[in-house]
Chain A
Amino acid sequence: MKVENRRTCSVCGSEFSGGLKFCPVCMLRMGLEGEVESGESSASENMVKPTPEQTVQRFEHYQLVTGEDGKPVELGRGAMGVTYKAFDVDLHCPVTLKVIREQYLGDESARLRFLREARAAAGLRHSNVASVFHLGRTGQNYFYAMEFVEGETLENLIKRSGRLEVKLALEIATQVAAGLAAVHKQKLVHRDIKPSNIMVNLEEGGAVTVKIIDLGLAKPAPDAPAEAAISIPGAFAGTPEFASPEQFAGVGVDIRSDLYSLGATLWKMLIGQTPFRGTSAELMYQHLHAPLAIGQLNHVPQPVVVLIEVLLEKDPGRRFENPAEVLKAMATIMAAIDARRRITRQSFQKTQSAASRAVPRKPPSSLAPDKISVARLPITGSNLFGREEDIAFLDRAWVNQDVNVVTIVAWAGVGKSTLVNRWLRRMAAENYRSAELVFGWSFYRQGTGGRSSSADEFLGAALAWFGDPDPRIGTAWEKGERLAKLMSHRRTLLVLDGLEPLQNPPGLQEGRLREPSLQALLRELAAFNTGLCVITTCTPVADIADHERTSALRRDLEQLSSDAGAKLLRALGVEGHEAELRSASDEFSGHCLALTLLGSYLTDAYNGDIRCRKEGLGRGSKALCTSTCYPYQVVAPTSTPTQHRGATGSGIAQHWSNHTLVV
């Protein structure tokens, strides 16, 4: 039998067997001259002892940035190292320098651990983890340089905001999970996931970039490092408010411990406070034994509550197995929130089993995408009927290496966004089928009167998200080309929803993109793309017409068949003879949105009786008339597409009724 029960010493940071009652390195160090000084807690000796101010101002070509007081700007202080803001005098850019703490200078074991830590961090390249790119030496000691992350810590963001919007919190949690997936891939455990170790950059346009910092460090709470560490019986590595039960128990931890900390972090994002509060001893007890105060989450959508419950399970065996599972669950949760559906923890397992059953053309990748951002896509309903062929078309396009762009073309309300969203959920259930990056953007702002977003806004957000050093640099055309390059070399799934506001209206230039940046982007992607770009629009994109039937495919979305329309009505709770339901579907020309509105109205007002579909018109009641006429009005613009420019199906639906099940 092999034993892998390991612990990490909170004083020297070295790992040791869980079967030992003490840290052997610390015990051995007691043999060094001058190590034993008093009978006070020796942990406090090591940690409270003030360290001399760092006097070195320059490390190779990195100059420490000093504050107004002339002292180096310290970004953080861990058990073994101190991080400073510095400036690369060669490349003229800011960096973060991590320097070994003065008390460990000359300590071989600390130096070795520091070196190992730097190497481990350098082996990890992920857009949601701050990268280490240089290891240097000053005298006999090491330092390393890592990416300077713009933005603010999640801790500050929460302090400023009180609590975060659910959608933003989920987006941040998703990106942290993606970063943890990379950590897990490197067989590392962060051990200190918490808001102050997560950098968030909120950009104009609502895009969010999240990065995990301080990889692999076990450090006490920043406010009171010494006290936080020494007051805990069976000292551990981590921060008490966010530490997992197994961290407190002092047994070996794996990536599931980080998932627990992610759960505690998500809780804090949504509530503004951690799940448990108190002294270190109280915190330890609560993390190990106390039930969660789920009542505090009463304003949070039920699927998110289930997610938190699973993440914060005390038994690691009842949590998600790894971050990839969390990412999969996120798709289930988003879908459930969209559909206003309740879920159980078994829903996550269903997602996994569905994924394992699917395996249609290409086995799903064992790894989730490195990064996902689909929060800007419109919210749509989950019901989809009669679109099996269209889904299969998208499936084929994804696995076909020759297809670079797919354009779904249809009038507003036919169900383009619903189709793509449904396909995305299927993709998500299968780990996005080996996609490395997934980015979705709608050129309509949901719930804001159908206002569209500009190409500049999209370019800025997308460039930043894909890691462009400075999205402001260059002409519009250059930006478009740059974005195409950034995404085309990694298998990227790009979804551009509702492109029509940025296309020219009927006339000589009909369908041509008005913005040079988008012209460049789509032309480049049509010519070369290792992933797939999926566009939904009312008008075919003329700029990529040259590639049609080769690398850029177009799919004209048909109205629903009588059969599919009848199924949709039934799914909305409408009852009646099949023939009458089919007839109703035909009356509305199989228009997806119109049928959805009709179905919702009938369900609310007439217990779903299909025969009452013209009642409102007959009685002349203003309210009813408005409601029943609306589905007809929605259908009307299908004959004059330009009148309908500037509104999406889901946008119309949101205007019509807040409680309508929208498509």
Chain B
Amino acid sequence: MKLDENSRSEGAAQFRTTRWSVVLLSAQSQAPGSKAALAELCKLYWFPLYAFVRRRGYCPADAQDLAQGFFLHLLDHKSLAEVDPRKGKFRSFLLASIKNYLSKEADRGRCLKRGGNIEFVPLDTKHAEDLYRLEPADCLTAETIFDARWATTLLNEAMVRLGNECAAQGKAATLQALEPFLDPSNVQVVPSYEQVADQLQVSIGAVKTLIHRLRKQFSAILREEVARTVSDPAEINEEIHSLCEALVASEGRLGP
């Protein structure tokens, strides 16, 4: 069985900003598009899982099979029915589930390719392995890598969404000019307001307003992305703090 890419995306779109718990409940009730949405959410966080499995000592081929098998297992109707998503974060849920899955697989002897090579969740395994090889993370635990990777994945997704939204609004050039200002730590070389004002043909005051709006927009997208992975909107701040902590714990050892 292989889902059609288009139908999956369309179906999943309605769950774009829905909390993972709702998606899961919908999937349990077999609501249209819900399973695809869940698969998409899983796909989004595929690399943290892959990195976790690799760090646990599996070779690239086994890690790919295990990750693929894990998603199939997760999206299996029987397995879904057993999950109680009323409490907890998607991140914690996935981490606990993969640990459990690896333990079961180990009991069975060796990882078994599930689904007869059917690629239910298309994963960029080659790219993932390239990324993993770049990580000087030998001294970090698998859990630390997983959490920190989760944080960077979430940030990347938020940036991609910001880019898409700006493009859709015809503001791609504005985003390009103002992107350096998005970073609160000013790591990038920041042009002067005058330069940006000249470039965008607006006043300096307008530049400041645009920067403010861009930050607001990014912040909102970021919160939406975090919201998808928690059970309750009240947990968003806590999850952000946890992810910050995970990034600090990774000591900057994970690649971009």
Contacts and interface: CB of A to CB of B under 8 A. Distances in A.
Interface of A: 1-4, 6-12, 14-17, 19-33, 35-43, 45-46, 107-109, 112-113, 116, 230, 233-235, 250
Interface string B151-165: 110110000000000
Given A2-B134, A24-B151, A112-B249, A17 B244 contact: no
Contacts of A21: 183, 187-188
B209 A46 contact: no
Contacts of A20: 187, 256
A24 B155 contact: yes
11 contacts: A2-B134, A6-B251, A17-B255, A20-B256, A28-B243, A29-B184, A30-B222, A31-B222, A31-B226, A39-B181, A46-B184
Interface stretch (B53-61, B110-118, B233-241): B233-241
Given A31-B226, A39-B210, A9 B249 contact: no
B240 A38 contact: no
Contact of B252 (A14, A27, A35, A39): A14
B67 interface: no
Given A26-B184, A26-B185, 18 more contacts: A3-B255, A7-B252, A10-B185, A11-B184, A12-B185, A14-B247, A17-B253, A17-B256, A28-B151, A30-B215, A39-B207, A39-B210, A39-B215, A42-B183, A42-B186, A43-B185, A45-B184, A235-B185
Contacts of A38: 208, 212
Interface centre among B187, B190, B251 (most CB of A within 10 A): B187
Interface of B: 133-136, 138, 151-152, 154-155, 181-190, 207-213, 215-216, 218-219, 222-223, 226, 236-237, 240-245, 247-249, 251-256
A23 B211 contact: no
A438 B56 CA distance: 49
A12 B252 CA distance: 13
Give chain A's interface secondary structure class.
Answer: loop
Contacts of A31: 219, 222-223, 226, 236, 240
Contacts of A37: 212
A112 B222 CA distance: 23
A28 B183 CA distance: 10
A27 B136 contact: no
B186 A230 contact: yes
Contacts of A10: 185-186
Interface centre among A2, A6, A31, A116 (most CB of B within 10 A): A31
A106 to B, nearest CB: 9
A26 B189 contact: no
A498 B164 CA distance: 81
Contact of B247 (A7, A19, A28, A250): A28
Contacts of B244: 25, 28-29, 107-109
Contact of B256 (A14, A19, A25): A19
B134 to A, nearest CB: 5
Contact of B241 (A24, A109, A250): A109
A235 B252 contact: no
A17 B138 CA distance: 15
Contact of B184 (A16, A43, A107): A43
A107 B242 CA distance: 10
Contacts of B185: 9-12, 22-23, 26, 42-43, 235
Nearest to B224: A31
A27 B185 CA distance: 8
A258 B175 CA distance: 38
Contacts of B152: 24
B216 A36 contact: yes
B186 to A, nearest CB: 5
Contacts of B207: 39
A280 B187 CA distance: 15
A69 to B, nearest CB: 34
A195 B12 CA distance: 60
Nearest to A40: B208
Interface centre among B190, B210, B248 (most CB of A within 10 A): B248
A24 B185 CA distance: 9
A4 B240 CA distance: 26
A116 B250 CA distance: 12
B215 to A, nearest CB: 4
Contacts of B184: 11, 23, 26-27, 29-30, 35, 42-43, 45-46
B155 A27 contact: yes
A288 to B, nearest CB: 13
Given A14-B248, A30-B184, A112-B249, A1 B243 contact: no
A39 B240 contact: no
A16 B252 contact: yes
A233 B183 CA distance: 12
Nearest to A35: B219
A472 B177 CA distance: 66
Given A3-B134, A22-B183, A24-B152, A16 B237 contact: no
A35 B245 CA distance: 17
B240 to A, nearest CB: 5
A14 B151 CA distance: 14
A36 B242 contact: no
B186 A28 contact: no
A217 B60 CA distance: 39
Nearest to A232: B186
Contacts of A23: 183-185, 187
Interface centre among A32, A36, A235 (most CB of B within 10 A): A36
A639 B84 CA distance: 102
